[in-house]
Every structure is written in C-alpha cells, then in structure tokens.
Chains A and B, each alone.
Chain A
C-alpha cells in the first residue's frame, strides 16, 4: 500500500471511530479450534527466561505454569519441561507421542498453528532457543532431553515467524493489523488489547473510546506492569524466599501459590486476547484469499523439512547436536539458502495473495507497482532480437499516476486471458505515459491481437517472487560471484593489502586537481 493511501485509510477509520476492513479477503488462514493453540509468556523484570508460561489449545482448558521466583534456574527448567510436552506434542514431535508427520486429522495434511500475542513474545522463543537447544546439564536425562526438544521447537517457531510467507506461527496483533486499519498510530497499534476492544465495538463511540483506553493500560508483552511487580509481587517473592530459606514449607507453599495466582491472571489475559484475535479473523465475513493455500503448503513443507525430519532422526537414535543453532548457521551454503528464502518471503506472499484480492491489486496500482490503463493500440511485429512476430499492446496511463515499473518487467493480466508479457518500452505523449507491452505469454483463449481489446481498460501486474526462485535455483549450481561462500567452488578472493599510500593525501591531491 502506498504511504499516502495508508494515511488516508487511517483518517477514514478515525472519522468513523471504528476499524475499517483492509483488503477484500482475509489473508491469514485460521486453523480449526483443535489445531490452533495460543502461547504466552511473562518474565520477571530484568530476567530473560520466563517466570510464567501459558499454552492453550483453543478447544481446551489452558495449561498455565509458573515458578515462585523468576530468577531460579532449576524450577524454571522444571516448568519448561512440562511446557515442552505440550508444545512438542502439539507440533507432532515423535519424541512426545506425535506421529512425526505433518498433522493429518480430517485430511491429508492439516495446518497446526501457534498464535502469540505480539512480537515481544516471539523473542521469548528466541531466548528459549538460545538457552536450551544445546543444554548440557544433567547429560542424557529425560529432563535435559525435554529442554533440548523445547529449544529446538522454539527455534523452529522463531525462524518460521520471521518468514513473511509462513502461516504456522502467528503474531496475533500483526494478523489483526493486516486485516483492519485502526484509528491509531503504529505504536499503539501493537497493543492486542486495544485492537480486540476496538473490534468488539460498541454502539456508543465515546464509551468505545473509554473501553479502549482501559484495555490499553493492561500490558500485553511478557514484561509486567512495574507497579504490579513493586506493590504485589515483590513483597510476596521476598516473603517466599525468606520462608524457603527458613525451611517453612507451609508458608513457602502458600506464598508460591499466591504468586502463581497473580501470574496466572496475567497469562490468562494474554491467552484469552490471543484466541479472541484468532476467532475475529476466523469469523470475519470476508472470504479467505484462495492464495493462502500456497502459504499453507509452504508452511507444512517447511515444518517437515526444518522440524519434524530432525525430530524423527533424534527419535531414531541420532544425537541432537546437529540441530540448527541460534548462534551460527554453521554452513555458508545453508545460510545463503535460508537468507534468500527469508528475504524473498514478502515477494512469495504477495505472489500467493495478490491476484485474488481486488483491494490488494488496487493498492499495488496506487503504489505504482502495476499498470492500469487503456489499450490504445494493438500491433504485431517482430520483437528486437527475436525471430517470431508477437503482439504488442500500447497501454496509456495518466502521467500523474504512480509508476515504478521498468523496461523488461514481466507482467500478468488479472483476468488471465490473455495471460501477459513484458514491458518493451515506456514513452511519453502529452499528459500520458505510453507503455508498450509485448504480450508473448501463450494464451488458450482470445488472442491478444483481437480487436476487442482495443479501447479496453486493462490491469497488468508484475510477477513477484521470480527473483527469489531464480536465486534459489542457481544457488548450488552456478560457480558465479560468491560461489566460494556457498560451497560451489571458486577461490575466496584475497583483499589487496599492498596499498601503502596516505588516503588523506590522495584525496587532497584529487581535490586540488
């Protein structure tokens, strides 16, 4: 979406006082209740590891776990062992009773999703990945194995969440922002409580504003409200530690439970809002973009390759040291492949969704990433450097319309007949831009040189994702530049360090010259 259009949509939402649907379709698929789980964390101020965790299948009661003091390594480990069972089992790990296959209730392959409240909870996945994937304490014990498995699962989910074209791990607030334009700025728009309250709506705009304000005061990230920590939790934790030190089991148990209650409320709120976000998208009246099928297939494929295959191997007796590390890619080739895939995620997502959403197409045109104009001329001639004649459309678009395409850009028509071609030339005439498009893509319907196209308004969009596909194809094949880094041969270039001049003097002499 162009920045100006994004602003105008926010102004429209502000005028109406309620969020406005964004896009003609829903672009985030929502799994069925038995295949959807929410995951939320809370951590003690200054600590990296979780103090409390919550995991809830939409169709079941939540599993909420906490420790009395969020600084104590051992109890946190015990808590995470229990979480490992829930998460790894849900993801289908054979180490936790799963089949090791992509989950398949109700069909050949079914998507299982983990929803988190917002991006801050995603970074907790990274922390667990860093800390536990290669846990060494108590080598060989069931506990250590469970923690490592949790580290691997969190690593897989964290990496997956960073890929724009995935749909297995969902940031709930981002999912809502992609489906609606809210009458707030981007920073407030991160707050899941604010977003869901807006979407719940109210018949009275002023009372809705008040409700939003109240919801916004409740923290959603893993960090707790400092006042809650100071006034409620800190005294309880101090008393718990004193009782624990003195061996007063009854008191420490009671105080631990009191701490657990406070934390459980915090976790429960985060889980509830996350599941509410999923339900809002599931129940939206707009149709689901048919292109999400490609995203689901891609996510299932990645899960098999990047998570389940390794879990299968470990279940079969292989050691777990080959798991992807949060600290190194180990191999330049796999790092390059992963980097290109991640970098191309946005393109792949656009490719899957764009053609099925009229509003996304309008947004692309508004941003200049497409052509919408009138076919003012149709001719057949031999393109430069080719032997066979092809049809050329000259499409006229107003000069004032945004335009960011270049010569040679491959295009596709939104009606698919005729399919498309590439930009041969761009010329100007008065207040118009004339784009000559070679319509060379094969068509089984009306040929592009049919006179019925003359005078017709057409929409042509570039084919996104081709850059990534060709890069991935070539990676590992061609000994071109950078081949030494991806293991395809070639010699790593040695930097020329023979220069012994004074760069400042040289610059000065160039300046004088």
Chain B
C-alpha cells in the first residue's frame, strides 16, 4: 500500500523501524541459540513442555540466520518435519522428533487473479504429547520483542500478535488437514506468545492465548479475499504499475482504524469525506447516520424536511438527543 500511497502523493509512514527489526532479530537469535536452549527452558518452566524435553529443528532461511537456502526449501522441510512428527508419534518426542521447530513454513493456496500463494513462517512451532490421546499436539508460537508488562502490556501490540498467531494456526490446521495427518497430529486451540521480560532479553511466555476467534477471523478473511479475487479481471500481479493503478481505481471503505496501519488512510478519508461518509467522524457516527450523507445530515440538523423514512428516523433521533439535553431544561 506504500507504493499506492506514494503514487497518490502521500508520504508512507507505516514502515517498521530498522531498530525494531534488528531488536527482534537479536531476541530471536538469542532464543534459538544452542538448539533453542533458552526457549525450551522457558517453555519447560512455564509448563508447556515436560521436564527434560529436547529436540530442535531450525528451518530458518539464510537471510534470517538459518541454514536453509530459501522459503521453498523451508516449506519442503516443514512438510517432512510434520510427517516425521506424525509417524513417530508421542514416543518420538522423547528422542528423535523435535519439540521446537523454528520458522515452520506453510503455504496457503491463492487465487490466479489477485491473490498470490501465501507463504507464512511460524516463529516457533512447539510439539508435545496431547493429553488423553496418542496424537502429537502442535502449538503455534509467535515471538515478539516488546516487553511484557502484565495488565499494562500494550493492548494493540497484543491484539496484533494474537491476530498473527491466529492466522498461523488457521494455516497450520489447513496444512495438517491437506497432508492427511489429522489422525496423528492435532493443532492446539491455544497458542503461545513469547515476549521479553522487562529490562532483559529473557523470554516471558504467555501460554494460554486462545486463538480460536483469530483463526476463524483469518479463515473468513481468506474466504472474502478469494471471493473478491474471483470477480476481478485477470491481471499480472508482478506488474507493479498496473497493480497500483488498479488499486487506485478500486472503491474504498474508510474506517477510523485505517489511520493506525495503512499509508493510504489520508487519501481514503478524503475520498470518504467527499462522498459524505459519516465514518470520517467515527464508526459510531457512520452507524448513526444509517447511510444518510453527512452533508444531508447537516441540512436535516438545520431543519430541512426529511425526504424518506430513513431521513425522518435520523432527524427524529437527532431531535431526541438534542431535546433530552436542552429542550427540557426550561
């Protein structure tokens, strides 16, 4: 979206800080050093893995300080690792199978038109014996370098991390299903967030993050994307200029929260305002106006005659809100 924003004369500001990227890389490297010694110890301490658990497989690419050449190789290795976990079963976790896989790489099939194949890498995939069955349970672990501050941890950071982990959980469940490994592998409903302890580089594990909602949301999001892609005229996604033009000419649905993550928010807000979309004053205003144009609403507030049932209802609600505060103040 940064490219589109630039084409529209805006300055992209949503990129990531280079310091934050390197901080994240350093933290991850420390966690995974010496066969993930620090991460596994923290998982044991938190009760996620049993005492004495060991076994690490590093599927990171070279660009991310790992041993593998590229994402395709990482994906093949991930499939092999999942098959190995399934065939070795719970007994394998006591010796031959890894309990932590770094950068387990998954693919979500795309759509020929707009949506290319999605490649996702799970920071830390944890394997353990599932209670009361003989399956191996897989847990999605998302590593973030921000500090855990108990109830004061930034809620937006947490929500973003959970959304990301939920997407991975959906992709993992899909992969296990597509590989036909469901009888031997289960994907846990809960996932892990690996954060830093304040003032140190040591990990703080949040082990009971319910990812059901976020996984369902990811699934619904992909469905919507695929449905949207089907209706599009075919074009070459590699042709950047063409792609930017197509995005520029597409309809937008501005929401106030766009400001916090999209470089194009300012443009979309202006578009929305020019169309009289109440969302420019907040989602609650958008709902309150029930589709009535902002400018028309201002006219109604000034005493214009409502022209239909929706306008009549809106005018009445505005009158009630104003009236309750002032008309009875006599």
Interface residues of chain A, those whose CB is within 8 Å of chain B, are 2-8, 10-12, 14-15, 44-49, 70-71, 123, 126-127, 130-131, 183-188, 213, 217, 223-227, 229-230, 234, 237, 326-327, 358, 362-363, 365-366, 372-373, 400-402, 457
A217–B259 touching, CB < 8 Å:
no
Q: List 25 A-B contacts (CB under 8 A).
A: A5-B321, A7-B321, A8-B318, A8-B321, A8-B322, A11-B318, A15-B298, A44-B17, A46-B21, A46-B146, A48-B198, A71-B19, A186-B282, A188-B256, A226-B16, A226-B18, A227-B13, A227-B15, A229-B18, A234-B19, A362-B326, A365-B325, A365-B329, A372-B329, A457-B330
- B235 CB contacts on chain A under 8 angstroms: none
A45–B16 touching, CB < 8 Å:
yes
Partner of A401, one of B152, B154, B328: B328
Partner of A226, one of B13, B196, B285, B328: B13
Please judge, given known A-B contacts A14-B298, A123-B154, A126-B149, whether A45 and B282 are in contact too, CB under 8 Å: no
- B13 CB contacts on chain A under 8 angstroms: 217, 225-227
A45–B19 touching, CB < 8 Å:
yes
Partner of B17, one of A5, A127, A230: A230
- A234 CB contacts on chain B under 8 angstroms: 18-19
Other A-B contacts than A11-B298, A46-B20, A127-B198, 17 sampled, CB-CB below 8 A, are A5-B324, A11-B285, A11-B297, A15-B301, A45-B18, A46-B22, A48-B199, A130-B149, A185-B256, A185-B283, A224-B17, A229-B17, A363-B325, A365-B325, A365-B329, A372-B329, A400-B320
B11 in the interface (beta carbon within 8 A): yes
A327–B15 touching, CB < 8 Å:
no
**Chain B nearest CB, measured from A269 CB (Å):** 16
B266 in the interface (beta carbon within 8 A): yes
Closest residue of B by beta carbon distance from A230? B18
B12 in the interface (beta carbon within 8 A): yes
Mostly, the B contact residues are: helix
A46–B145 touching, CB < 8 Å:
yes
- A401 CB contacts on chain B under 8 angstroms: 324, 328
A7–B285 touching, CB < 8 Å:
yes
Query: Roughly how many angstroms separate A317 CA and B233 CA in the complex, as a whole number?
Result: 78
A227–B324 touching, CB < 8 Å:
no
Closest residue of B by beta carbon distance from A183? B281
- B284 CB contacts on chain A under 8 angstroms: 3, 6-7
B321–A2 touching, CB < 8 Å:
yes
A365–B328 touching, CB < 8 Å:
yes
B16–A10 touching, CB < 8 Å:
no
B199–A46 touching, CB < 8 Å:
no
B281–A366 touching, CB < 8 Å:
no
Please judge, given known A-B contacts A46-B24, A227-B11, whether A366 and B198 are in contact too, CB under 8 Å: no
B280 in the interface (beta carbon within 8 A): yes
**Chain A nearest CB, measured from B320 CB (Å):** 7
A4–B317 touching, CB < 8 Å:
yes
Query: Roughly how many angstroms separate A227 CA and B14 CA in the complex, as a whole number?
Result: 9
A12–B288 touching, CB < 8 Å:
no
B294 in the interface (beta carbon within 8 A): yes
B257 in the interface (beta carbon within 8 A): yes
B19–A185 touching, CB < 8 Å:
no
Residues 170-213 of chain B, each 1 if its beta carbon lies under 8 Å from chain A, else 0:
00000000000000000000000000101100000000000000
Closest residue of B by beta carbon distance from A6? B284
Please judge, given known A-B contacts A11-B297, A187-B257, whether A5 and B325 are in contact too, CB under 8 Å: yes
Kindly name the residue among B16, B149, B279, B324 whose own CB sees the greatest number of chain A CB atoms within 10 A. B324
B250 in the interface (beta carbon within 8 A): no
Please judge, given known A-B contacts A131-B198, A366-B321, whether A126 and B152 are in contact too, CB under 8 Å: yes
Q: B residues 4-39 with Cβ under 8 Å of A?
A: 11-24
Q: B residues 272-330 with Cβ under 8 Å of A?
A: 279-285, 288, 294, 297-298, 301, 317-318, 320-322, 324-326, 328-330
